A and B are shown apart, each in its own frame.
Chain A
Amino acid sequence: MIGGLFIYNHKGEVLISRVYRDDIGRNAVDAFRVNVIHARQQVRSPVTNIARTSFFHVKRSNIWLAAVTKQNVNAAMVFEFLYKMCDVMAAYFGKVSEENIKNNFVLIYELLDEILDFGYPQNSETGALKTFITQQGIKGQTKEEQSQITSQVTGQIGWRREGIKYRRNELFLDVLESVNLLMSPQGQVLSAHVSGRVVMKSYLSGMPECKFGMNDKIVIDKAGKGGVTDEVGKSTSGKQSIAIDDCTFNQCVRLSKFDSERSISFIPPDGEYELMRYRTTKDIILPFRVIPLVREVGRTKLEVKVVIKSNFKPSLLAQKIEVRIPTPLNTSGVQVICMKGKAKYKASENAIVWKIKRMAGMKESQISAEIELLPTNDKKKWARPPISMNFEVPFAPSGLKVRYLKVFESKLNYSDHDVVKWVRYIGRSGIYETRC
């Protein structure tokens, strides 16, 4: 198991050091600094073995978090734990930065003592932790309160405490998708997938039981076949349903129920959380198409023309569109002409950045640029990195639709109808690249 956990700043100074196992000596702290942080060459693996001691590290801005062990630990678990540790710290004091860590080091030690025991991760849900690890110290808890805390920390529903009350029961549901594309210069899709997240903010009283439904092909086909709800079957047949390649759920979702009935039911944590992640690869709506044209004119000039086409309903508006066209390292000057938006050559980033604030569906726009090159005797050809794109669209490129989200709370007297629900779809570009 994890033998120790260290946090360093970018200079390699230790900010936090907590050793859990006897086999990890103080010199481990220095070994990591010398061999990884101060290493002459950039480290090429997140797992480093130094003198039979394994170091796992992740970086958050310029902070290094390192877990150390001498055993054959579960590596995936160690990384998951390190990410979780970052989340917990962020939930307590905001950004994981050197200053924040220094100012909260007592709190961090207290957290580390709680969420890692002898190197075994324990309950690390911030909701539960915040009930008894506070910077104010626990004052005058009654016995009931204490046992409520411990039963929550160890209980089956460790993510929600009892006795939550809201005057207005409200739910916010965001379907956030990032659409990823790799396209060949000829317009052939090399790979495309959507990775989506359903993020929920719930402000519900009591211990509500929720059920979430979407236009999952498997569910809808099943319903259609069984003939139970004819109406659903009709309205959602054909293109309306989507094939989900795979999905993962927040720990509140009953996985065995999903496995057997494919229904998503859960008792939600309070406040904001990620309910599920999913991935689709079939019938993706690619909101933009990039058509590049690069021509080398002699050895010192490049002509670039890029056309982008929007491919969705004309009534919808895409926002924050940005096209990034890489330029060679030996670029000396660039002249750009674009029909829409603003384009600029950024020498420090070796790219022409073209920004368009808004663009409606089924439109087309174009940029052309002339790039002057300095003559070089560098034998190596320019690698021609792909043209990448950023945007935001108000629909889900996977085609996912929320069908329902039902709330049942048997003990308190509010019904599904009393809950105010909001649904929003946002599609963003993930890695959206076209080779040129």
Chain B
Amino acid sequence: MRSVMFRFHVCAGEIFELKAELNSDKKEKKKEAVKKVIASMTVGKDVSALFPDVVNCMQTDNLELKKLVYLYLMNYAKSQPDMAIMAVNTFVKDCEDPNPLIRALAVRTMGCIRVDKITEYLCEPLRKCLKDEDPYVRKTAAVCVAKLHDINAQLVEDQGFLDTLKDLISDSNPMVVANAVAALSEIAESHPNSNLLDLNPQSINKLLTALNECTEWGQIFILDCLANYTPRDDRESQSICERVTPRLSHANSAVVLSAVKVLMKFMEMLPKDLDYYGTLLKKLAPPLVTLLSAEPELQYVALRNINLIVQKRPEILKHEMKVFFVKYNDPIYVKLEKLDIMIRLASQANIAQVLAELKEYATEVDVDFVRKAVRAIGRCAIKVEQSAERCVSTLLDLIQTKVNYVVQEAIVVIKDIFRKYPNKYESVIATLCENLDSLDEPEARAAMIWIVGEYAERIDNADELLESFLEGFHDESTQVQLQLLTAIVKLFLKKPTETQELVQQVLSLATQDSDNPDLRDRGYIYWRLLSTDPVAAKEVVLAEKPLISEETDLIEPTLLEELICHIGTLASVYHKPPSAFVEGSRGVMHKRLPAQGTECPDVGNAAGGSAPEAAPSIIPSQGDLLGDLLNLDLPAVLLPLFNTNCSSYGILYPQVWLPAMKAKGLEISGTFARRAGVIQMELVLTNKAMSVMTDFAIQFNRNSFGLAPAGPLQVLTPLGPNQTIEVSLPLSTVGPVMKMDPLNNLQRQVFLATWKDIPNDNESQFQIQDCHLNSASNKLQGSNIFTIAKRTVEGQDMLYMSIKLSNGIWVLAELKVQAGNPNYTISLKCRAPEVSQCVFQCYEAVLKN
């Protein structure tokens, strides 16, 4: 029973022929005809004209033919909704068929037909199928609820399907449970606060039981769902971990990674001195290593995840360096990832081996890989002081190869080594200077110029070297220009007598002939410094430089925590939060690691309970914290209210304000920021259309903050297809004000009732230290935090306050203030406990400023 694919175009004649065959009396002929139709459909030809004829073939007891017709229906029903109705009867009838395979097929297909009229008819059959005696039908119906929800969420809620779906979690058949979990998890994603999954110890127990019995895919659904649960205490956390650990031996890598995710997350809650904690750490290493013997694509996913795990808990894999050694015929994407992890794991114990490997890699063929390997050698030098000398000599060997990109990469890293270990390796400068002419990449040129400037007093011909760069000053990139300017000023301060002419030349190039504001500003600053106070100039320009950090490319801690919660998923592959690549609201809820149990009083500061000694030494920028707020749908305009005294702020995540689909291809994303005391609207305009866009202008609607542009929108050049432009628009607050109801405060009774209604789990307590205020409540009121009641208990003032975020989230707060004590205690209760941390930060900011 073989059929042939048809590759020629569907012409009228062919359609006619197919029509005749479809209406043939012979079953075989009919089936062959439908096959031909499907073949044409696959290659993208339009065979929708045959709709009525194909639907006519639906009434058949031949299952294969039926499936083909259904496939056709799924593709074309949307374009022919009126005719699709013709199929409804057959569907409804099939849902009653004695054969469970046919019942399931009907309900499965119906859910895929996104036509309102059909959806209406789907409800009754679906209700029956959800309670079908056959598990095969039930498991299909469970997924169908998710399909229906995607088409019409309201309908699913009104019809009570969600409750039926919840009941299926207790089904006797493990596959039904797994599919119900998958469907519920998906639906829950679009209702972040609905508590739809309602995970509690009982339901968790059911899931864990089903975990042992269902298919590999079902295990993944269940584990991914478990990862969203927050255990009540460390005991519960441990017992779940114990029951999940056996999954680490599963042959399916996805099951293993999902189990790792659950364990990584729940481990946070375990006290570190617990024996079990150590055991669990040991158990995690072998399965992670085993993932590296999977197929290369899976290795890639595993390595991206291991990269995160190594940053979060370096102790797990610290003895496994060797497995990350690159194999000669690994695909390039695997090689690059392995290299990254090698550097992270490099330590004094294994540095000799690592260096030998890196040296080997630096002679490979792939340019990117070689560059990364050279850079890695430099990073080892910075990370492990004992190895620095060997690293430098290895780099010098590599420079001797004269391979252009190797030399340039080596010079860039040597600059960092000089910074880390001043006055130690300057003997190599002569070798570096020999390669001056071969440098054509800005980064390498800038690095070399920096070296010459920094060590000008030891390089005899420093002035000649720098002068040679000056000739093509205006053709250099900004990076090089800035570096050159600074280097020559350094040189002048060190050898003032011979280089006066040179410094004047560069200052005039930078200030008079350049239209780059950064360069001009820097030029003027130097000029004035040199002309007014050379001693001060020396102190500024030749100041001691701050230390450079040992680790580079570390993921910012809050993002890392979020990504750990997404192990195994695309987010962990991209190293980006889902909101960065998922459209719409689905799945953009930020996940966080649970905080460690009751023993740890400063839950807020620990931010997930990571041990301070293990925490990487980078400072989370406040901008990212605000980013968290932003992604919880807090409008950016509210932020300035909380931060009235800050003159400038880090960059907030830009949000897509206008998707390209709605604006004929123009996508606008943006954010608000306060820079130098001025509110700025920062816009990113992207042209996703095919043609050039010009003549941009902007107008503000009347709004409650009176925001209005303080100048015109500066988009001067036309925006070509696929081009992106960033603009920042200064704003003033003197525009027309739209009167709106203020974010209101709560009534006393309502406050009390709500306080009681919110489960105690959602309460979190924070300390605000060193606060000297006469009236905290007035100060807070100024930032829209309202005091509802106040009582005094044993010399302590208890202030009860409420805040409403503009997306409707209420936060209730109890502030304890003791007279004479500058430390305040604040308890926050909220239905969305994720915001508590951010609200606390805002409190702190408001009270302290």
In the complex, chain B residues 37-54 whose Cβ is within 8 Å of any chain A Cβ: 38-39, 42-44
The binding surface of chain B is classed by DSSP as: helix
User: Which residues from A are CB-within-8-Å of B182?
Assistant: 1, 120
User: Which residues from A are CB-within-8-Å of B44?
Assistant: 14, 17, 26, 29
Q: Is B252 among interface residues, defined by CB-CB distance under 8 A?
A: yes
> Given that A73-B570, A182-B325 are known contacts, is A105 also in contact with B256, CB under 8 Å in the complex?
no
Q: Is B245 among interface residues, defined by CB-CB distance under 8 A?
A: yes
A56 and B297: CB pair below 8 A? Answer: yes
User: Which residues from B are CB-within-8-Å of A40?
Assistant: none
The binding surface of chain A is classed by DSSP as: mixed
A154 and B139: CB pair below 8 A? Answer: yes
Cα distance, A385 to B327, chains bound together (Å) = 11
Q: Is A228 among interface residues, defined by CB-CB distance under 8 A?
A: no
Cα distance, A256 to B62, chains bound together (Å) = 43
In the complex, chain A residues 342-401 whose Cβ is within 8 Å of any chain B Cβ: 379-381, 383-386, 388
A150 and B43: CB pair below 8 A? Answer: no
> Given that A47-B570, A143-B98, A386-B328 are known contacts, is A248 also in contact with B246, CB under 8 Å in the complex?
no
Cα distance, A182 to B480, chains bound together (Å) = 43
User: Which residues from A are CB-within-8-Å of B217?
Assistant: 77, 81, 120-124
Q: Is A235 among interface residues, defined by CB-CB distance under 8 A?
A: no
> Given that A26-B44, A44-B332, A137-B63 are known contacts, is A75 also in contact with B570, CB under 8 Å in the complex?
yes
Q: Which of A124, A182, A258, A274 contacts B327 (CB 8 A)?
A: A182
Tell me the minimal C-beta distance from A192 to chain B in angstroms.
Answer: 9
Tell me the minimal C-beta distance from B653 to chain A in angstroms.
Answer: 16
A75 and B301: CB pair below 8 A? Answer: yes
User: Which residues from A are CB-within-8-Å of B140?
Assistant: 117
User: Which residues from B are CB-within-8-Å of A154?
Assistant: 135-136, 139, 173-176
Cα distance, A153 to B134, chains bound together (Å) = 11
Q: Is A39 among interface residues, defined by CB-CB distance under 8 A?
A: no
User: Which residues from A are CB-within-8-Å of B108?
Assistant: 113, 117
A106 and B301: CB pair below 8 A? Answer: no
User: Which residues from B are CB-within-8-Å of A149?
Assistant: 101, 136
User: Which residues from A are CB-within-8-Å of B116?
Assistant: none
A248 and B583: CB pair below 8 A? Answer: no
Give the segment of B287-295, B443-451, B673-681, B762-770 that binds chain A.
B287-295
Q: Which of B68, B101, B252 contacts A80 (CB 8 A)?
A: B252
User: Which residues from A are CB-within-8-Å of B175?
Assistant: 122-123, 153-155, 158
Interface size on A, residues (CB 8 A): 102
A80 and B64: CB pair below 8 A? Answer: no
Q: Is A315 among interface residues, defined by CB-CB distance under 8 A?
A: no
> Given that A13-B43, A46-B333 are known contacts, is A384 also in contact with B325, CB under 8 Å in the complex?
no
- A209-247 CB mask vs B (1 if < 8 Å, else 0) is 000000000000000000000000000000000000111
User: Which residues from B are CB-within-8-Å of A435?
Assistant: 360
Show 30 residue pairs from A and B whose CB-CB distance is below 8 angstroms, ordered by the A residue: A22-B114, A23-B583, A29-B44, A46-B300, A70-B583, A72-B582, A75-B301, A75-B570, A76-B254, A77-B220, A77-B568, A79-B301, A80-B216, A80-B252, A105-B42, A118-B147, A120-B179, A120-B217, A123-B215, A135-B1, A137-B63, A153-B175, A154-B173, A184-B356, A191-B323, A193-B323, A249-B251, A379-B401, A383-B365, A431-B329
> Closest 5 interchain pairs by CB?
A246-B286, A150-B136, A76-B254, A259-B246, A77-B254
Chain A residues at the B interface, C-beta cutoff of 8 Å: 1, 13-17, 20-23, 26, 29, 44-47, 49, 51-52, 54, 56-58, 69-77, 79-83, 102-103, 105-106, 109-110, 113, 117-118, 120-125, 132, 135-138, 141, 143, 146-147, 149-151, 153-156, 158, 182, 184, 190-191, 193, 195, 245-251, 254-256, 258-259, 274, 276-277, 279, 379-381, 383-386, 388, 431, 433, 435
9 extra A-B contacts, CB within 8 A, seeds A80-B253, A109-B71:
A14-B42, A102-B5, A123-B215, A138-B101, A147-B100, A150-B104, A150-B136, A246-B287, A380-B401
Chain B residues at the A interface, C-beta cutoff of 8 Å: 1-5, 35, 38-39, 42-44, 62-64, 67-68, 70-71, 98-101, 104, 108, 111-112, 114, 134-137, 139-140, 143-144, 146-147, 150, 173-176, 179, 182, 186, 212-217, 220-221, 224, 243, 245-247, 249-254, 256-258, 286-287, 289-290, 293, 295-298, 300-302, 322-323, 325, 327-329, 332-333, 353, 356-357, 360, 363-365, 368, 401-403, 566, 568-574, 578, 581-583, 586-587, 688
